[in-house]
Amino acid sequence: MRNTENTMSTPTKKSPKVWKAGTLTYSTGGLLVLFAWLLVGDFAWQLKERSVATTAQLVLKSFGSPDLLVGLLIGSVPAAIGLIIGPIISVKSDRTRTRWGRRIPFLLIPLPVVVLSMFGLAATPHLGAWIHEFLGARSPGPMGSSLLAFSIFWVLFELATIITNALFGALINDIVPHETIGRFFGLFRIVSLVDGIIFNVFLIKHAEEYYSWIFIGTGLIYGIGFTLMCLMVKEGQYPPPEPQAPGASGRLMGFKTYLRECFATPFYLLVFGAVILGAVCFGPVNSFSIFYAKQLGINMEIYGQFTAVSYAVSLVLAYILGILADKFHPIRMGIACLALYAAMALWSAFSITNLTTFGIAYIGHTVISGAYMTSTASITQRLYPKLKFAQFASGQGILLAIFSGIMPPAVGLFLDLNHHNYRMTFLFSGLIAVVGLVFYILVYRRFMQLGGHQHYRAPLSETSEFQ
């Protein structure tokens, strides 16, 4: 009889899953630890993002600020700062090599400025009184002096915040494995929504009365949480930066080379257009919905409840949307979300008349815009060259700064001249979403020509282990 003992297959032990991001490798447990520390930083960062701008809008109105000034400070100032600072910091970060990495030093340096500027915003009434007394007959009045003090610290706050925001996404791009990045941004979105629920349920109804404490508390949480994240996560090794282009100054890439790489490739121009229009189409409603609620006689507690309900719905959807983005790609998800948003916003523009219709429109706006943000959060990480990610993100940021700088004050001026007809903000948002949808369809056609979901390779990308 033939011996079959050695022909029988023996079960082999399955190797543990290893996740890679450039030169970094993670076990499943290590990946969970990475996610945990990034989400600690995200909680602090998103609390700042969720609470400071909304509180600032209410404070400015309490000082008698016109809508035009609100649009300038909340929209144009950060846009102008981003236009100047964003490209310089982003390219410098791409080319930086230190023992701590190329992103973390740039995230830590502006952190104290963010915290101290929030403390300055908290002290606005006292500083305004001092300025009023100091200027005497030349004073613009107590409220004008308070607006002046607020504006100074707001500019400092935005200056430091723009640097951080430009590079936080770049850090995630460098250290999170790309096959998990959609799900990571789903978790990212969940943390953001938890922050939003906390603010809108517990804090917004007290924002006008206790804004100083909100600024101080948010500043402390941001300072502690973001510092811990920067100290606990590690960056990998990067290939040496490309040699300096002719005409480059110091360690910065030549300006002509920067413009050529970012703005001379038609595919990236289409991506810029799609991402920017997708981002700014929600701006008109976001910037003035709180004033629309007040105009309709809706108090801040009910407004906060509407927001919290929409965030709760978005929270349930967030991780599912992240999985779908990994499976179907953010471009397809962006097309679906923008089409749905355009239909909702245009309906809202002609239907809001009371508390009920405002609630339906506002919750629809928040849930669908949130679904878009979650679904497309990883789109630039998937489309831009990895080694020059921050550079291309800053190119996108330049155009976004121009749009963001023009649109809020333009909408604010339109509202000032048209008796504050805030319902028109839904019309503006819906029309911009339609144009953004066209850009997304064009991006998708070119994306498929470049390899599609499975075989895409970014134009101008380098061949390297990191790529």
* pLDDT given at position 463: 43
Instruction: Please check the confidence at residue 160 and state whether its pLDDT lies above 50.
Output: yes
Tell me the average pLDDT across 267-289: 91
Tell me the average pLDDT across 373-393: 88
pLDDT exceeding 70 applies to what percent of the chain? 92
* pLDDT given at position 461: 62
Q: Which residues pair with 26 in a beta bridge?
A: 19
For 395-414, what is each residue's pLDDT tens digit? 888 888 788 767 777 887 88
* pLDDT given at position 273: 94
Class of the domain covering 24-236+253-455: mainly alpha
Residue 12's pLDDT band (cuts 50, 70, 90)? low
3-state secondary structure the chain: CCCCHHHCCCCCCCCCCCEEECCEEECHHHHHHHHHHHHHHHHHHHHHHHHHHHHHHHHHHHCCCCHHHHHHHHHHHHHHHHHHHHHHHHHHHHHCCCCCCCCHHHHHCCHHHHHHHHHHHHCHHHHHHHHHHHHHHHCCCHHHHHHHHHHHHHHHHHHHHHHHHHHHHHHHHHHCCHHHHHHHHHHHHHHHHHHHHHHHHHHHHHHHHHHHHHHHHHHHHHHHHHHHHHHHCCCCCCCCCCCCCCCCECCECCHHHHHHHHHCCHHHHHHHHHHHHHHHCCHHHHHHHHHHHHHCCCCHHHHHHHHHHHHHHHHHHHHHHHHHHHHHCHHHHHHHHHHHHHHHHHHHHCCCCCHHHHHHHHHHHHHHHHHHHHHCCCHHHHHCCCCCHHHHHHHHHHHHHHHHHHHHHHHHHHHHHCCCCCCHHHHHHHHHHHHHHHHHHHHHHHHHHCCHHHHCCCCCCCCCCCC
* pLDDT given at position 311: 84
pLDDT exceeding 90 applies to what percent of the chain? 38
* pLDDT given at position 7: 47
* pLDDT given at position 76: 76
* pLDDT given at position 250: 44
Q: Which of 196, 163, 168 is nearest to 78 (CA)?
A: 163
Q: Among 137-151, 165-179, 251-265, whose mean pLDDT is lowest?
A: 251-265
Tell me the average pLDDT across 182-199: 85
Tell me the average pLDDT across 421-428: 87
Tell me the average pLDDT across 169-179: 90
Q: What is the mean pLDDT of the chain?
A: 86
Tell me the average pLDDT across 265-292: 90
Tell me the average pLDDT across 102-131: 93
In angstroms, what CA-CA distances link 9 with 5, 105, 460?
Answer: 9, 53, 48
| Structure token digits, residue 177 | 């494995």
For 25-76, what is each residue's pLDDT tens digit? 999 999 999 999 999 999 999 899 888 988 888 888 888 777 778 778 877 7
Tell me the average pLDDT across 352-363: 89
- The listed range with the strongest mean pLDDT (22-26, 66-70, 142-146, 389-393) is 22-26
For 332-355, what is each residue's pLDDT tens digit? 999 999 999 999 999 998 888 888
* pLDDT given at position 252: 47
Q: Among 15-19, 268-272, 443-447, whose mean pLDDT is lowest?
A: 15-19
Instruction: Please check the confidence at residue 4 and state whether its pLDDT lies above 50.
Output: no
Instruction: Please check the confidence at residue 247 and state whether its pLDDT lies above 70.
Output: no
Q: Parse the chain into domains and list their residue ranges.
A: 24-236+253-455
Q: Which of 385, 428, 432, 397 is nearest to 272 (CA)?
A: 397
| Structure token digits, residue 309 | 């309900």
Burial class for 2, CB neighbours closer than 10 Å (0-12, 13-18, 19+): exposed
CB count within 10 Å of CB 280 equals: 22
* pLDDT given at position 77: 82
Q: Among 82-86, 147-151, 228-232, whose mean pLDDT is lowest?
A: 82-86
State if pTM tops 0.75.
Answer: no
Q: Which residue has the higher pLDDT, 80 or 436?
A: 436
Tell me the average pLDDT across 121-135: 90
d(CA 303, CA 293): 7
CB count within 10 Å of CB 34 equals: 22
What angle, rounded to 10 degrees, do the helices at 181-198 and 300-328 form?
180
Please name the residue that has the structure tokens 């407004």: 303
